[in-house]
Structure formats: C-alpha cells, structure tokens
Structure 1
Amino acid sequence: MDSSATPVESAKCGPALDSAPLRRIRWPLVHDARGAHASPAAILLHGFGHSADVWRATVRFWRTAPKAPATFAFDLPGHGRSRALPSSAYRIAEVARTLEGEIRALTDESVVLIGHSIGGRVALALSQSSRIRVDGLVLVETGVSVSPPSSRKAIIEAASISTSSFANRTEPIEAVMKKVPMADRSAVSEYVEHALQPTASGLRMALDPAAVELLFDENPNSIWSSLENLRIPLAVIRGEYSSFLRESTIQQMRERVSVPLSAAVIAKAGHSLPLERPDALGQMLDHAYHFVTSAASTGAACVNGQKGRCHG
C-alpha cells in the first residue's frame, strides 16, 4: 500500500473519552510526478456526534488527485477519543479556542480550515483568530440560520448512536444506515470500524452527552457578522436535498460576503455528505482547496463583486 495514503494516528490517541486532549489523524502529502505537492496543510473538523474517522473515505477519494496537502482531522472535544469539556464550556468559541492551541502546536505555517456542519461553525470562529494563520475556509453543509427543530432533532437522533453500546461491529453499521438512509455502506463501515472503542458495557463510538449544547449555541447575527468580516477566500459545499444549507442562503452569501467565494452542490445527497457521497465530496474538497489557496496566493480581493471574479 502507498504509505502516502495511510493515515497516522497521533500519539495523543487514547482508549477513553477523557484520556487525551484532542486526538487527531494525519495523512501525509501526496506528490505529483514532478515531486510537487499542495500546501498549506488542511484541517478537517467533523460535525456533531461524529469523530475524525468520518472523514476517512472522503480523504481517500481526495487523495486520488495528482497532489494533495498534508491533512489533519481532529476529534472535537467530547467526541471520539478527545477529552470532554465541562458542560458549561460546550460553546463554539470555547471549542475553537481549544483547537487553536492544538493547531498552533502542530504548525506555525498557514492552514486551510474545512468544517462539516457544526465543525464549519468552529472553523468560521477559528478563521477570526489572530493566533493562527488561515489562508482559506471551506464550509461543508454549515447552516447560518437557526436550525429548524425537526433538523436539530434528526441530528440528535443520529448522534445517539455514538452514546449507545453495541455487542458487535455490525450493529452500529446498521444503526447508522437506518439513521442516514442515503449513506454509502462502505464509508459507514470504514467510519465505524475505526471509531468503535471497547468499554465495560460493550463497543461504543463515544460522545459526551453534554456536547449537545453545541447545537443550541446558534446566533445567526453573529454568524453573518463573521462571514461579512472574512478576509480570506471562502468555498461552500451543500447537498442537493439538504434543509440545513439552502441555495437561498448561498445566494445571500454571494450578496453579503466580500471575499472570493466558490459554491458547489453535490447531487443526490443530503446533510451527511462524508457518509453519503464521500467520492463526490473528496473531489469537491480538492476543487475548493485549490480555489481558496489560489485566491489567497494571488491576493484576490473584492467587495460585492466589484474587483475580479470573486464569486465562482
């Protein structure tokens, strides 16, 4: 197997929820035939109830591109093998501060932040930091308005799998497929296989129940303010059938965001893109990554489309 395609667990990985600061997975650089590679590094942040393992299939498809950057996926606090936070600390800003320290310890070079769902909100908060260097932001199925009660309920129900115990490795796969009916079984199997942890009560994927407070930390005015104040290129990816990020919201972004912006839609998919269409998402992330890094390297800037081709 090509070692460049093999993810490496961080030394911080531990068997229990509170045994490590933040666990991460690292995929090395992919060089093209001339030895060139993409930079800067990409930081992947998952959605609520998942873990870094949910990105495995997507990154595998991304890395079929001629060259790919060093890529790091973190378990958010209270998820997977990362330590839990005090219940009162499950706020987007606090999670961003925790990740900020981890990224600073990882590299002092620029990074591209990529977040799915609530991970996108954490990435947006991180992009405002003056303590890390961010060249671009990619939001995958990240809503801006307050989530409809039905949508929030669906996320909580799907995430309940991560607080459940299972007798074998088949049960959680079937549970995920039931909760996410459009999911790709091979992507789900890969995710579950790596996310499961043995406990005294059986196998589980680990989620601190108190982390649900992150879903209620929604302030549309603050999110829009952060988007309007962006000074780095932005790419947005949504699923065709999703109710979390609608086309009308992307149109609002085009009108209100003053930086280069690229938007893409993945067909026949909903909100859980890393599990539903990892193949298409991998290709879209490659495009989005090169869009934001190219715009950053050329110093592209615009205000409401007045300079250059700001909105792709």
Structure 2
Amino acid sequence: MTSKQAVAENEFTDLTAIADDLGLSRVDAPAVQRRWVNVITGGHVSGVSWGTGSAQAVLLHDARRSARAWDALALALDIPTLALDLPGHGRSNWRKDGVYTPRKLAPAVAEAIKSFAPSAKVIAGTGLGALTAIALNARHPDLVHGLVLIDTLPGTLPGRPAEGPTRFASREQALAWLRETSPWAPPEVTAADVRHETTQESDGSWTWRHHLGNLPAEDSDGLDDETLWDLLAAVAARGVPIVVVRPGTGSRLKEASLGELRRRVVTARVVTLAESTGVVESDQSLRLAELIHDVLSTFDRFQGRLA
C-alpha cells in the first residue's frame, strides 16, 4: 500500500495566515512547491521546497507528522529550504515492511537530499526526524554539515503510541481523538495535523496519511535507537556544529540524556527556549530560525578557514 499521492490545488493557502501570526510582512507570497523523487529503496519521497535557489537547510519532522509541520519555521527562516516527508508520511510512499526506524529511513532521505538539496549546510529535525538526521552520518557523512536537534537525543522518543481508530467519520472526530491523546500539543498544532495528515476515503471516512496511523500499535514500536549515540559522537568528532534545542516546559530531554550528551558530545550546545511549552518548531519558530542561522554562520566561518 502506498500513501495518497493527490495534492489539492489549495494545499498552501494557509501560509498567509501563518505569516500573519508570526508578524511577517511580505510583498509577495513565498515561493513554495511540492516535489517528488523516486528512490532506489522503493517508491518515492516527497518534500516541500521553499524559496528559490539551492536549499541551505533541510527539515525532518517527527513521527506521524509531515513536511507541513515546518511551515512556520520555513517562513521564519526566509532562505531556500527543503522540508521532507519521511518515508511513510505525508505524500511519501509507505514502506512495504512497515518498519520506520531511523537507520531504515536514512537511505531514502539521503537520496532525496542529494536530489533536492545537495548543497544544504544544516539539517534540523525533531523526534524521528532528528534521529534519522543522526543516522545519515553512517553512510552519508558528506550530507551532515550542521545539526539542530529539537528536543531529541537517542533514547528519548516516547514508546508505543496511543491505540485508536484508523478511520474516522469526520475530521472533527479525528481532531477530538488527537487532542484527547495529545493534551500537551497546542490546539493550533493538532488542528494543523488533522488538516494536513488526514485524507478522505471513497466511502467518505477519513484516515491518516501516515502509515504508522494505519498499523496496529504493536507493529509500530522500535522508532528509537540508542546506538545512535556513537554516530552522534562521530558527527561531533568531524567538527560539525551541533545544537540541541529544548522547550522550557514539557521537554522529553531529562537529566540522564543531557548528562550523556555532555559526556559523549562535549562540543554540543544546549539551548533552552523558556517560553516554549513543548512544540518548539511551532511556538518558537522565530527563535529557532535564529539558531539555525547561527549554525549556518558557523559553517561559513569554518569553510572560510579551510579556503
């Protein structure tokens, strides 16, 4: 089975409202387009390209979300950016084996980055996307020049998702279920997730676009990978700037994981955004954009010393 590939003509009509909420004034609508690339691991990977020219940043979302989770951040960055749908999410194909571990996703993500953003200088990710960014270093270290890990380190992803229906009579029913099972998420985030991550079937019911929402809960464990600590340490050993961003409240990064970071990746910078309540990429997108620009500047200074 594959994900639904049809894209409504009005997919991006909500961007103006998002920009207004951020206080961003724009003369023209942002240049944004949906893209696809076939990958040798099977099927295709989809993504959203922002701006014109070669993408400088790549954004990788959490499990059960999609490239559209980054709309606010992409607008705030105001640079050429690529937001990818991880395999099994958004408009990317589902994996036949239903396995969505970071190391399994990395090859297809690497192909998409090479196709859409070969000159990208920084990868930012959260949750499953953050761990997939780390996993890229195993076989594609040439793609990892700067890392921004949002409230995620190896061994910190939540366990089995809440069991629930795979079909809903309406989007309102899906929204009610999502808000009940994710009380920590701001209402505007769950509303956007239902808007972007559900699709209507021929019988009028609604289902999740992402494969994980269509799998039995017992089949969707194992998204985390504590062995990625070794790869993260290898990234740091190459001199790659690493920034770990956590919200002021509701962070999944506890002292044990932060202590492991200090022990194994001594050069990593940890930034706490005190005003964030859990979904940094949405509620602190302007500040997060500043941090990503800092990493880009660090990369440029490093390249200047090598020149």
TM-score by length of 1: 0.73
Aligned to 1:42: 57
Aligned to 1:183: 185
Alpha-carbon offset, residue 182 of structure 1: 3.4
Provide the rounded CA distance (Å) in 2 between the counterparts of 1:26 and 1:284: 21
Aligned to 1:244: 252
Provide the rounded CA distance (Å) in 2 between the counterparts of 1:175 and 1:273: 22
Aligned to 2:261: 253
Per-residue CA distance 1:66-97 (angstroms, 9 max, x = gap): xx321221111112221111327533222100
Q: Is the 8 A contact 1:23 1:75 kept in 2?
A: yes
Provide the rounded CA distance (Å) in 2 between the counterparts of 1:166 and 1:172: 6
TM-score by length of 2: 0.74
Alpha-carbon offset, residue 273 of structure 1: 3.9
Provide the rounded CA distance (Å) in 2 between the counterparts of 1:145 and 1:197: 32
Provide the rounded CA distance (Å) in 2 between the counterparts of 1:112 and 1:204: 33
SS at match of 1:229: helix
- The size of the alignment, in residue pairs, is 268
Provide the rounded CA distance (Å) in 2 between the counterparts of 1:180 and 1:89: 23
- Matched AA of 1:204: T
Aligned to 1:106: 116
- Matched AA of 2:45: L
SS at match of 1:79: coil
Provide the rounded CA distance (Å) in 2 between the counterparts of 1:289 and 1:172: 33
Q: Is the 8 A contact 2:66 2:85 kept in 1?
A: yes
- Matched AA of 1:223: L
SS at match of 1:23: strand
SS at match of 1:139: strand
Alpha-carbon offset, residue 248 of structure 1: 4.5
Distance 1:251 1:291, change over 3 A: farther
Aligned to 1:303: none
Aligned to 2:66: 51
Aligned to 2:207: 204
Alpha-carbon offset, residue 266 of structure 1: 4.3
Equivalent runs, 1:1-312 vs 2, <5 Å: 2=26, 3-5=28-30, 7-10=32-35, 21-28=44-51, 41-60=56-75, 62-63=76-77, 68-87=78-97, 89-130=99-140, 132-145=142-155, 151-153=158-160, 156-157=161-162, 164-201=166-203, 202-209=205-212, 215-220=221-226, 222-230=227-235, 231=238, 232-242=240-250, 244-259=252-267, 261-267=269-275, 269-270=277-278, 272-274=279-281, 278-280=282-284, 282-299=285-302
- Matched AA of 1:207: H
Distance 1:7 1:166, change over 3 A: farther
SS at match of 1:77: coil
Provide the rounded CA distance (Å) in 1 between the counterparts of 2:74 and 2:87: 21
Provide the rounded CA distance (Å) in 2 between the counterparts of 1:248 and 1:91: 23
Distance 1:291 1:255, change over 3 A: farther
Q: Is the 8 A contact 2:151 2:251 kept in 1?
A: no
Aligned to 1:305: none
Distance 1:177 1:88, change over 3 A: closer
Distance 1:87 1:45, change over 3 A: same
Alignment gaps of 5+ in structure 1: 14-18, 30-36, 301-312
Q: Is the 8 A contact 1:92 1:214 kept in 2?
A: no
Distance 1:219 1:192, change over 3 A: closer
Per-residue CA distance 1:257-312 (angstroms, 9 max, x = gap): 14452423344523x444xxx131x1232122122222222229xxxxxxxxxxxx
